[in-house]
Amino acid sequence: MKQLNAIVFFFFCLALQAQSQIEEERPPLTRILFVFDGSQSMYGRWESGAKIDVAQRLMGQMLDSLQGIQEEGNFQLALRVYGHQKPVPPQDCSDTRLEVPFSNGNIYKIKRVLKAIKPKGTTPIAGSLLKASDDFPPCEDCRNIVILITDGVEACDGDPCVVSKRLQQKGIILKPFVIGIGLDEDFKNSFECVGTYFDAADENTFKNVLGVVISQALDNTTAQINLLDSRGKPTETNVPVLLYDHTSQKVRKSFVHTLNYKGQPDTMVLDPLVVYDMVVHTIPPVRVDSIVIHPGTHTHIGASTPQGQLELRSNSRQSTKISCIIKPHGKNEILHVQDFGTLQRYLSGTYDLEILTLPRIFQSGVLINPSSTTTIAVPPPGMVTLQAGTSGYGSIFVQREDGYEWVTDLSESGERQVFQLQPGQYMVVFRSKFAQETAYSKTKEFRVSPGSSTIVKIN
């Protein structure tokens, strides 16, 4: 019976793990908000009829094609319309309204509202985009996409480019799509700063553009990150990588770079609507900005990350842990603090080391070559016991070519103190805390040899 229970528990754990993996792999909810032009100019003639009639018919056909996708439960639509409530003149720049909010299974309602639109008013594009920021309910893991469909440019005082950029920087929306219906050539440049612009010069192009935009909005694409060695080969791996949204600077993906079972960089799925900044967390980190993912195409992302190893070899006589500060050669920037007895990868290059022994050891211009190991070791220290017979004040100095250099202070409360010092010639200066005159200060010189044990009595 116990064995049966163990088996049941084992498979229960497997089921929970599988369910957890499914939840982790579930893609984010994609939410598309159509911002539709209902201004008076949509009554303008366009091939087979008025622009509004053509747009309503082709939008309806496109929505029918999305019915099955929405039923899968990871895709929602909403509709905002502007210029359809108040006639001109006079001009009403507040004429924009969310007609159909985000929900599941609302395609029929969107079609019905679109069909009932009667163009009347002006074109408040900036105001509509600003209001659209509130149309997306709060969501931790959603792709918020705006598709603006218009036959005219901004007619009010707002700046659609400024509003679009602000919403992208805040991470509220991804870069919008803009579909221009029969726009004059002079006006097209006005929308390139708003989002990805598509020119629907005729009915057939409008239909095709709708398909392309929806496809790009819904489809992710594959990519691989190639961390290149000194020969330009993608062999470097096992490094944390963070992918940021270039506009909002929010982290979109974070992972440890992996080579698959074939020894190739593992393939991942990325959102083609996002321009990425990548930080490869080598030491020092490598940054690649403004990475564009091409929809429907496997994208290769490269970063030059040739690495070598620095081994800090510890000494068996060293009873305390030694750390080492690593800096770029000739700079004060601290890249890393590495302990002796460890191995650490760095980008190939030249570094300055500050080894935190007593006294400190400085090594400048240490070369780390790609795919090789540079080893640094320090001489075994000597054990020095200072016996003063009383507590007091003082310091230890090491002799250099240009004089004495301070090493460390003595403890004010210790009569007997032990130090591990690097080989060299030293001097200790001490005064008892009970002595009230400078003349009672005492100086003692001593020498430390590698691995030695020395007792220094301060009489």
pLDDT digits (tens, 9 = 90+) for 182-236: 887 777 778 889 999 998 888 899 999 999 898 888 888 899 999 999 999 999 9
Phi, psi of 197 (to 5 degrees): -95, 135
Report yes or no: 60 and 114 within 8 Å, Cβ to Cβ: yes
At 45, list the tokens.
Answer: 């003639």
Q: Which residues pair with 437 in a beta bridge?
A: none
Summarised one tens digit per residue, pLDDT across range 29-49 is 999 999 999 999 999 888 778
User: What residue spans in the chain does CATH classification 3.40.50.410 cover?
Assistant: 28-218
Task: Cite the residue boundaries of each domain of the chain with CATH code 2.60.40.1120.
Answer: 221-304, 382-457
Assigned CATH for 382-457: 2.60.40.1120
Residue pair 86/120 in contact by the 8 Å Cβ criterion: yes
| CATH code, 221-304 | 2.60.40.1120
- Please report the pLDDT score of residue 414 as a whole number: 82
Q: Give the neighbor-by-neighbor strand order of the sheet with 240-245.
A: 251-256, 240-245, 275-280, 286-292
DSSP string, 255-275: EE--B-TTSSBPEEEE-TT-E
Exposed/middle/buried for 60, CB within 10 Å: 0-12, 13-18, 19+? middle
Three-class SS state of 211: helix
Residue 318, Cβ neighbours under 10 Å: how many?
15
Residue 11 CA: distances (Å) to CA of 20, 24, 25: 14, 20, 21
Entry pTM: 0.83
What residues contact 343, with CB distance under 8 A and at least 6 apart?
Answer: 309, 310, 311, 373
User: How far apart are the C-alpha atoms of 200 and 54, rounded to whole Å?
Assistant: 12
What pLDDT is recorded for position 301? 96
Using CA atoms, how far apart are residues 146 and 34, in angstroms rounded to an integer?
6
CA–CA distances in Å: residue 425 to residues 359, 400, 418, 458: 11, 8, 17, 16
280: which residues sit within 8 A by CB, 6+ positions away?
A: 225, 227, 239, 240, 241, 257, 286, 287, 288, 303, 305
Q: Which residue from 125, 134, 126, 146 is spatially nearest to 273, judged by alpha carbons? A: 146
Distance in angstroms (rounded) separating the CA atoms of residues 246 and 290: 6
pLDDT of residue 15: 43
Token reading at 404: 């004495």
How far is residue 429 CA from its own chain's centroid? 53
According to CATH, the topology of domain 307-377 is Immunoglobulin-like (2.60.40)
Determine the Cα–Cα distance for residues 128 and 94; give it in Å rounded to an integer: 8
CATH superfamily of 28-218: von Willebrand factor, type A domain (3.40.50.410)
Q: Which two tokens stand for residue 108?
A: 């029929």
Per-residue pLDDT tens digits of the chain, which is 459 residues long: 444 344 334 434 444 443 443 344 567 899 999 999 999 999 988 877 889 999 999 999 999 988 877 766 688 999 999 999 999 989 999 999 999 999 999 999 999 999 999 999 999 999 999 999 999 999 988 999 999 999 988 999 899 999 999 999 999 999 999 999 888 777 777 888 999 999 888 889 999 999 989 888 888 889 999 999 999 999 999 999 999 999 999 999 999 999 998 899 999 999 999 999 999 999 999 999 999 998 888 999 999 999 999 999 987 766 678 999 999 999 999 999 999 999 999 999 999 999 999 999 999 999 999 999 999 999 999 999 999 989 999 999 999 999 999 999 999 988 899 999 999 999 999 999 998 899 999 999 999 999 899 999 987
Instruction: Write down the pLDDT at residue 17.
Output: 45
